[in-house]
Structure 1
Amino acid sequence: MELQQLLDHLLFECHHSINHISINGVTDSSMEVEPGYVFVAIKGYQTDGHDYINDAVAKGAAAIIGENEDQGLSVPYIKVANSKKALGIVSSAFYQNPSQNKIMIGITGTNGKTTTSYLVKHILDHLGYSCSLIGTIQNIVNGEKTTTQNTTPNALKVNQLLSQSNDDVVIMEASSQGLAEYRLEGITFDICLFTNLSHEHLNYHGTLDQYFEAKSKLFSKLKPGGSAVVNADDYYGEKLINQMKEREVPVLSFGENPEASIQMKDFKLSYPYSVQLKEGMHSCEVTSPIPGYHNLFNVAIAYACAKVLRASSASICRAIESFPGVEGRFNMIDFPNGSTVVIDHAHTPDAVINCLQTSSESKNGKLYHVFGFKGDKDTEKRKEMVRISAEMCDHYILTLDNLNNVPKEEMIQALNELQANYGNEKGEIVEDRTLAIEKALSLSKEGDWIVISGKGHQTYQHSYHFPVKSDKEAVLLLKEQIPEK
């Protein structure tokens, strides 16, 4: 591809001729530059790509895109207002706009994105579609699984994955930070889903309204004729529905709200978990293999997504019944002493309420909770999560999570302040995460439930007392030491 073609949809300033320059690749990493590549210099949190422009030129870069002034390079310097946005535009152009050739499904919201994405994939697999998935736990393309660092990769990686995919459908989790940082620039969607919105990432976005504004950017990326699927029970969901109607975008809403396109009724919150979904004069019961009121909402939005693709209610329901669940999302492990352990990724106040409420409804004994907070993240939500646990649990243990460069002593002090100001006599602090898990398990008896939240599928960044890499590994190791009832 020639450079001029690559820049067709980009507003830029350049003092060099850009005619007849062949481009062999695009990258935002100077280490990946090869002869004939375009290097996009991006200002990051820790490094600035503009500092590596000369390195890129020395490695044979055919052109540079950046935000700073032209420093008199020997190759064309394309000055743009926003390098992150430019990366999306040129990546899409280089890979020949791959999102146009797929059925693209984007999912955003505070809670439920991952479970919903796996539910949608499971349903569509059963309906005969082949599906790629790009999300928090892993990427799945052409049946091959790879690990991922971000819920939403940058625009270059997304376009690379889409160009590699031979699947009919691509299901993507869209994070608010990813949307705000233009990681989906140049990507368009056939269906966009909104799960809910609650307190999260306010250290990044500032306010809930700004957080919603970032989330709603996904819906500006709908293809002509694309559809929105939105939670009508959520305050910001209602706001989004009104925005879609103003833009004359087809909306399929769901929820207990009587005005929802798909109204949820007659919840059954004990096994087998189910909900009635009413569409006009038609009604069907959906049975969910995963417990919890909140998971029935995840089932409903996945059901609605499949309905947009004109699947029959019966075929969708059959697929949902065989859903195996998601790693790190309300994973239950039965213990020899008759207690039950739940490992969940819940890391927001709403998600913790949902997880603890579901566990409380299932237990015959006491409810224990082990959780901590990641350093250098939204600190405002911490006090509410401690209040919730103190109110809902018989005993809770505050412990450490990823420090994220915050000194350990500072995090321990934060835990002590949280316990003193927002906790109660039912709580304690055990710094070592694996010892905190051991303590909760040792206290448990038949019929008790122990919820370990915050990490889910994620591996530990730090070493603890027991030589394990995750909450699940810790539980399985300790399971061998718990006596039978």
Structure 2
Amino acid sequence: MELHITPALALLREHHLLDHVSNLTDFTATSVSYDSRKVKPGTLFFCKGNFLPKYLASAREAGAIAYVAEKEYPEGAGLPAIIVNDEQKAMALLGAAFYGYPQNDLFIIAITGTKGKTTTAYFADHILAKATDKHIALFSTLDRVLGNKKEDKFKSDLTTPESLDLFHDMRAAVNNGMTHLVMEVSSQAYKKNRIYGLKYNVGIFLNISPDHIGRNEHPTFADYLHCKEQLLVNSDVCLINAETAYFTDVYYTAKATSQPGDIFLFARHGADLQLPDGLAVDFEYRNDLEDLRESEFELTALTEKAKQLQLDCRYTTSVPGDYNEGNAVAAIIASGLAGATQADALATLDHVHIRGRMEMIPTKQHGTIYVDYAHNYASLKRLLAFLKRQTNAGKVTVVLGATGDKGISRRPGFGKALTEEQPDEVILTTDDPGFEDPLKIAREIDSYIDHERVSDVSFEMDRETAIKKAIDGSDDDDIVVLAGKGEDPYQKIKGHDVPYPTDVKIAHDYIAKIEK
């Protein structure tokens, strides 16, 4: 991989990003990086994010050949300085060029939504693994899969990675023979221009509800919605859940850049839809059976373009929760648009396992423990409502916290969901507090709980202790819900990722200890 200065400058000019160049020389970069610790001779260095001039000095000493920034720095004296008006956009464009535009060699399905992205991604990944004989890459909140060897699979650090990492991994996937990619796309990826210029073959819009709104994220809900909608603007074919809030806004955003024939809508049978006149749903699904282990539903094509995909069938999924049926439907349709068949979906959906998503841990004497990533009002409410419908549980205990520094709107949302679903006991604890006091966050959640409806609320800031306390207080017919972290193996505390065993491991190990 390499990038010559002439086409690089031409690309920046084409997108009106180039301000000026100082100390211009004829060079070819043989490496790109935004991390001074990874610079080697021949590197084009990007001064991005929480940048300090000393990083440029380190990069220069390590052999950087030039740098890209929004202003010149004395620490880069003597190096060609490519000055741009938007560092993030420039990095995305030049990163794609350096890695030879690997997206052009992949059929890409991109997924956005406030909830359900990871579940949908795993459903689609499994279907397409069958359809393509395992030539499928996956970029998810949980895992990054670039190929079929053990070293090609690793945990993700961001839902949607930085642009240089994204295109590096796409190139690796292509080099590994992958032909398809399923990727989650966060609103922050658009807010921070990590995926500027990237196009998708199919874009899925699952839903939208208030989340990620706060001082370090989206300033308003309107901004959050706008960033989510950009996925549709950048997709050849759009697949939209017609039950989403703000459907009209979402649909007309898609229609602004896509022909009506390239927009597919799906919804649950009997849903109360607010569709513009003349607009019809392409697919509907009807729940046939659901329990705590699986869901069964019938998918029916209603329009001619939908019928051409030949996906009508009764499907069974191994991920419980009626709310996950819509995620499965989105994956089936998107995979069908990518060339998968009804048979591919039938053969795979009944054995999909997603770590930290509705994981059930049965016990002998302490009821049933559910571990789920539910981390906002909508997902917590749906999870508790589903468990309430499906069980004749005795006591229901919920263990949860809220993140610090971001997602501020989740705190009143948690209080509202707990008030509406009325668990018997709530233990408020720590969940990625960042630079905030976890007890202060917990007390803020508590302030939004109606204590006449949920009276038993306690505080335990050590999350492992909180989990053990919830299990100790539960009997045979009870339920313990561990919400928010899923399989996260760390706690974000004061700028550090502090290792954490995961809720699943803590629960499993403690049950094994006390139920010998």
Fold-level similarity (TM above 0.5): yes
State the match for 1:209 in structure 2.
222
Deviation of 1:216 after TM superposition, in Å, equals 1.4
Give deviations 1:319-364, integer Å, cap 9, x for gaps. 21232x2000010010012611100111010100121122212222
Q: What does residue 142 of structure 2 align with?
A: 137
Residue in 2 that maps onto 1:297: 326
- Greater shift, 171-180 or 212-221, is seen at 212-221
Determine whether 1:471 maps to 2:503.
Answer: yes
Aligned to 2:265: 253
Residues 424, 454 of structure 2: 8 Å contact kept: no
User: In the alignment, what sits opposite 2:57?
Assistant: 54
8 Å CA contact retained: 1:67, 1:83:
yes
From 9, 17, 20, give the equivalent of 1:14.
20
Match in the other structure for 1:183: 194
Mapped to 1, the partners of 2:249 and 2:433 lie a distance apart of 36
Tell me if 1:442 matches 2:472: yes
Structure 2 residue 83 is matched with structure 1 residue 79: yes
Q: How has the CA–CA distance of structure 1 residues 240 and 442 changed in structure 2, closer, same or farther, with 3 Å as cutoff? A: same
Give, as a single letter, the amino acid of the residue that structure 2 aligns with 1:273: S
Q: Which residue of 2 aligns with 1:346?
A: 374
Q: Is the 8 A contact 1:70 1:79 kept in 2?
A: no
Aligned to 2:166: 158
Deviates more, 1:340-349 or 1:59-68: 59-68
Structure 1 equivalent of residue 406 of structure 2: 377
Counting only pairs closer than 5 Å after superposition, residues 281-296 of structure 1 correspond to structure 2 as 283-296=312-325
The offset of 1:409, in angstroms, is 4.9
Residues in 2 aligned to 1:209 and 1:377: alpha-carbon distance in whole angstroms: 17
2-side partners of 1:362 and 1:416: how far apart? 27
- Relative distance call for 1:423 and 1:398 in structure 2 (3 A) is farther
2:98 maps to what in 1?
A: 94
Aligned equivalents of 1:381, 1:76: Cα separation in 2: 45
Preserved contact between residue 231 and residue 238 of structure 1 (Cα < 8 Å): no
The equivalent residue for 1:317 is: 346
| Rounded Cα–Cα distance in structure 1 between residues aligned with 2:451 and 2:393 | 28
Residue in 2 that maps onto 1:269: 290
Q: Pick from 401, 422, 432: which aligns with 1:402?
A: 432
- Aligned CA distance change for structure 1 residues 253 and 419 (closer, same or farther; 3 Å): closer
- Shifted more, 175-184 versus 380-389: the winner is 380-389
d(CA) in 2 for partners of 1:108 and 1:214?
10
Residue of structure 2 aligned with 1:172, choices 176, 183, 200: 183
| Deviation of 1:145 (Å) | 1.0
| Displacement of 1:221 | 2.5
Residue 11 of structure 2 aligns to a residue in which SS? coil
Size of the aligned set, in residue pairs, is 474
Say whether the 8 Å CA contact 1:468–1:474 is kept in structure 2. no
CA deviation after TM superposition for structure 1 residue 92, in Å: 0.7
- With 111-120 and 402-411 compared, the bigger mean Cα shift is at 402-411
SS in 1 for 2:29: coil
Query: Is the 8 Å Cα contact of residues 100 and 188 (structure 1) preserved in structure 2?
Result: no
TM-score, normalised with respect to structure 2? 0.86
What CA distance in whole angstroms lies between the structure 1 residues aligned with 2:210 and 2:288? 26
C-alpha distance in 1, partners of 2:344/2:248?
Answer: 29
Q: Where does structure 1 lack aligned partners over 5 or more consecutive residues?
A: none
2: CA distance, partners of 1:266 / 1:96: 45
CA distance 1:305–1:289, change in 2 (3 Å): same
Instruction: Call closer, same or farther: CA 1:267–1:239 in 2, change over 3 Å.
Output: farther
Paired-residue identity, %: 25
Quote the residue 2:496 is aligned against: none
Aligned to 2:129: 125
1:284-313 CA-partner distances (Å, limit 9, x unpaired) = 222121111111011110011112124332
Query: 2: CA distance between counterparts of 1:191 and 1:69?
Result: 40
Question: Which secondary structure does the structure 2 equivalent of 1:107 belong to?
Answer: strand
Q: CA deviation at 1:84?
A: 0.9
Contact 2:88/2:192 (CA < 8 Å) preserved in 1? yes
Matches of 1:423 and 1:38 in 2, distance apart? Answer: 59
Q: Are the structure 2 counterparts of residues 422 and 96 from structure 1 closer, same or farther at C-alpha, using a change threshold of 3 Å?
A: farther
Q: 2:247, 2:31 → 1: CA distance?
A: 40
The answer (yes or no) to whether the contact 1:386–1:423 under 8 Å persists in 2 is no
Q: Offset of 1:146 from its aligned partner?
A: 1.4
Q: Is the partner of 1:346 in helix, strand or coil?
A: coil
Q: CA RMSD in A?
A: 2.4
Indicate which of 60, 63, 66 corresponds to 1:63: 66
Q: CA deviation at 1:199?
A: 1.4
Does the Cα contact within 8 Å between 2:487 and 2:502 map onto a contact in 1?
yes
1:337 maps onto 2:352 in alignment:
no
1:81-139: CA deviation from partner (whole Å, max 9, x where unpaired): 01111110111111111101111111111101111111101000111341111121121
Distance, in Å, in 2 between the alignment partners of 1:218 and 1:468 is 33
Amino acid in the other structure paired with 1:404: G
Q: Which residue of 1 aligns with 2:251?
A: 241
Q: Evaluate the alpha carbon distance shift between residue 248 and residue 149 of structure 1 in structure 2; reply closer, same or farther with a 3 A threshold.
A: closer
Equivalent position SS for 2:399: strand
Q: Which segments of 5 or more consecutive residues in structure 2 lack a partner in the other structure?
A: 274-279, 494-498
Q: State whether residues 418 and 449 of structure 2, in contact with CA within 8 Å, keep that contact through their aligned partners in structure 1.
A: no
Give the deviation of 1:17 after TM superposition. Answer: 6.3
TM-superposed CA distance for 1:373, in Å, is: 1.1
SS of equivalent residue, structure 2 residue 258: coil
What TM-score, normalized to structure 1? 0.91
| 1:110 partner SS | coil
Identify the match of residue 112 of structure 1 among 116, 127, 132.
116
Change (3 A) 1:412 1:102: closer
Structure 1 contact 363–448 (Cα < 8 Å) conserved: no
The residue aligned with 2:231 is: 218
Matches of 1:457 and 1:275, distance apart in 2 = 28
Closer, same or farther: CA 423–276 of 1 in aligned 2, 3 Å: same
CA displacement at 1:268 relative to structure 2: 2.7
| Aligned-partner SS, 1:142 | coil
Aligned to 1:450, the other structure's residue is in SS state strand
SS in 1 for 2:111: strand
- Contact 1:109–1:196 (Cα < 8 Å) also in 2: yes
Paired position in structure 2 for 1:229: 239
